[in-house]
Amino acid sequence: MNDTDINDAVSRVLAGFSGAPVQAIVPAPTAAPIAPARAPAPAPASPTASSSIDETVARIMAEMAGTKVAPAAENLATAPFSDHCPTGGTDCTGCTGCEPSDGLVSFSISDEEAVTLGDGVFATMDEAVEAAAEAQRQYLFCTMQARKSFVDGIREVFVDEAFLERISRMTVEHTGMGNVGDKIIKNRLAAQKTPGIEDLKTEAVSGDDGLTLVEYSAFGVIGAITPTTNPTETIICNSIGMLAAGNSAVFSPHPRAKVVSLLAVKMINRKLATLGAPANLVVTVQAPSIDNTNAMMTHPKVRMLVATGGPSIVKTVLSTGKKAIGAGAGNPPVVVDETADIEKAAKDIVNGCSFDNNLPCIAEKEVIAVKEIADFLISQMQKNGAYLVKDPAVIKKLEELVLTPKGGPQTNCVGKSAVYLLDKVGITVGPEIRVILIELPKEHLFVREELMMPILPLVRADHVDQAIDLAVELENGNRHTAMIHSTNVRKMTKMAKLIQTTIFVKNGPSYAGIGVGGEGYTTFTIAGPTGEGLTSPKSFARRRKCVMAEALNVR
Ligand code: NAD
């Protein structure tokens, strides 16, 4: 045993000592585990030379403190836990960390099994939050490498083609919204392009007064409310982002998307179990409801709320008094001026507007075309799958079909295809028709309301400046998404400055803004109202300062 060994051992013991009695190195009592089946633990990473030194140091410190000490944990440093894990060791009862399952976990979960208890699904919100809190406490002691492997594990679940197809089809069947092909693209996108732990970059400042780090640290338990329009996409994206930042996540899905949301949570839990993660890092309740969402929002152990949905739920989370991220509604306008490549603009607009039957909050919801090119744009859109409705009687029928008496969209028409909607008003078209195009005045409800169906109003403007002003008006301060097709950089810049949206796409379809055919990462929680914008792991973290005074500056 040399000086270095002793120094190292003292450091290790002190790391578990936390300034209080020496029993801090004894595994802390933990709640009863809610863990999946375990396989035999892998061999400890480094056997007992260092642990015997630790024991000696701990014993001496215990004697000095007059406290009896339990034997040192044998597998304290076993991956995926850091050597500060208080739950490792022979007395460990709390987590699966040292014991990845042996691969016998079944990933075949039927629809019936998806809604049963277990694998992260709890009977009550209180149980769900308590389990997530315990999981997060254990997660504090996992290594960054382990975090990365858990995040990668979630990705793996959702890039499996058969599973992608299944959850996408199930979502369409259960919610009655969207189309399977585009949901596959969205789910895959969430799995592949949501950022992971690399998003959490430490800042360092050093000087005569020492070294200071500013690090992204977990919030704790995060309550996440997910929409019916992107149910699994949001669970995938939020799980990756929240876990990458060291949190656990409690999901409150939309009741209409219950089965597929619970299935996603169960699959994540089973995958994480195979990787040795603490059980219940991602949880939900068996019967999602507004009451359960309220219980989650008021639970004292939920430290942050993230609402992805309409204005009502965003307002609700912002009034809880907790740290809240609000990702709310949009009404994205697209401006087309006389300098644009009109053929391309027409194609991009039809593609963006019809993506998942216009469900994405970023999708083109109204076109504002400079009058000089409006007719040509309309004709090009017709060539690319737009059906032009001019007959006032048909427009009236569509209004009656898709609007509620209050003027909002009828839920049973949200996310339906153009073929379906036209059929409902007596017009039969083929599958090549993806958008219903109607020229309307700017006051019409189809222009003002976020319909989330492929009815695309077009408003004429006298010139591009007027078009930009109208786009700002129709975006309605949501700070969400807008598009422009133009080659005039001054006008593009002007619109960007005035409209202040989180996403601003130039010369592309709206989905380029979330990484489909456009550079950059994806997110399905676009937080305009609260300013985080395109959320990523650091949106779900706190910035904490760690100061070493008068030392460690080596410049
Ligand atoms: P929604 O607001 O009806 O529901 C969203 C979630 O909130 C659901 O889980 C629902 O059960 C819950 N909820 C709603 N009102 C609640 C209340 N008063 N108390 C407790 N829980 C409540 O929205 P939706 O129809 O599921 O989704 C579509 C909306 O979400 C659109 O407005 C769309 O623009 C928006 N959205 C925004 C983003 C974004 O990133 N900004 C992403 C997807 C969807």
For residues 239-261, average pLDDT: 98
For residues 430-459, average pLDDT: 98
Listed in order, strand segments (DSSP E) in 440-525 are: 455-461, 481-485, 503-506
pLDDT score for 430: 98
pLDDT one-digit tens code per residue, 129-147: 999 999 999 999 999 999 9
The pTM for the full model equals 0.85
How far are the Cα atoms of 389, 420, 425 from residue 428, in angstroms, in the given order? 13, 9, 9
In terms of pLDDT, which residue wins out, 141 or 41? 141
* Ligand 1 pocket residue status of 327, Cβ below 6 Å: yes
pLDDT one-digit tens code per residue, 378-407: 999 999 999 999 999 999 999 999 999 999
Asked whether residue 84 carries a pLDDT value surpassing 90, the answer given is no
Query: Which tokens go with 90?
Result: 């022979």
Q: Which atom of ligand 1 is nearest to the CA of 228?
A: 26
CA of 467 to the centre of ligand 1 (A): 30
Asked whether residue 282 carries a pLDDT value surpassing 60, the answer given is yes
CA distance 207 to 210: 5
pLDDT band at 105 (very low <50, low <70, confident <90, very high): confident
Asked whether residue 89 carries a pLDDT value surpassing 70, the answer given is no
Q: Which atom of ligand 1 is nearest to the CA of 480?
A: 41
Asked whether residue 57 carries a pLDDT value surpassing 70, the answer given is no
In terms of pLDDT, which residue wins out, 367 or 64? 367
pLDDT score for 5: 60
pLDDT score for 83: 53
CA of 228 to the centre of ligand 1 (A): 7
Asked whether residue 163 carries a pLDDT value surpassing 70, the answer given is yes
Listed in order, strand segments (DSSP E) in 114-247 are: 121-122, 203-207, 210-218, 221-225
Closest CA to 357 of 174, 186, 182, 505: 182
Q: What is the DSSP letter of 97?
A: T
For residues 531-535, average pLDDT: 97
CB neighbours of residue 99 within 10 Å: 19
For residues 254-269, average pLDDT: 98
* Ligand 1 pocket residue status of 331, Cβ below 6 Å: no
How far are the Cα atoms of 50, 75, 89, 99 from residue 78, in angstroms, in the given order? 13, 5, 9, 9
Q: Which of 285, 308, 448, 453 to mutate to test the pocket of ligand 1 (most atoms within 8 A of CB)?
A: 308
pLDDT score for 555: 87
* Ligand 1 pocket residue status of 332, Cβ below 6 Å: no
pLDDT one-digit tens code per residue, 173-196: 999 999 999 999 999 999 999 999
Q: Which atom of ligand 1 is nearest to the CA of 252?
A: 9
**Mean pLDDT of the chain, nearest integer:** 87
pLDDT one-digit tens code per residue, 484-531: 999 999 999 999 999 999 999 999 999 999 999 999 999 999 999 999
CA of 550 to the centre of ligand 1 (A): 50
* Ligand 1 pocket residue status of 227, Cβ below 6 Å: yes
pLDDT score for 251: 98
Query: Which tokens go with 448?
Result: 């003002």
Q: Which atom of ligand 1 is nearest to the CA of 414?
A: 25
Q: What is the DSSP letter of 70?
A: P
For residues 22-29, average pLDDT: 30
* Ligand 1 pocket residue status of 289, Cβ below 6 Å: no
* Ligand 1 pocket residue status of 356, Cβ below 6 Å: no
CA of 438 to the centre of ligand 1 (A): 27
DSSP 302-357: EEEEEEES-HHHHHHHHTSSSEEEEE-----EEEE-TTS-HHHHHHHHHHHHHGGG
pLDDT band at 37 (very low <50, low <70, confident <90, very high): very low
- Return the ∠ at Cα 350 (arms to 346 and 352), rounded to 5°: 115
* Ligand 1 pocket residue status of 254, Cβ below 6 Å: yes
In terms of pLDDT, which residue wins out, 472 or 43? 472
pLDDT score for 30: 31
pLDDT score for 107: 83
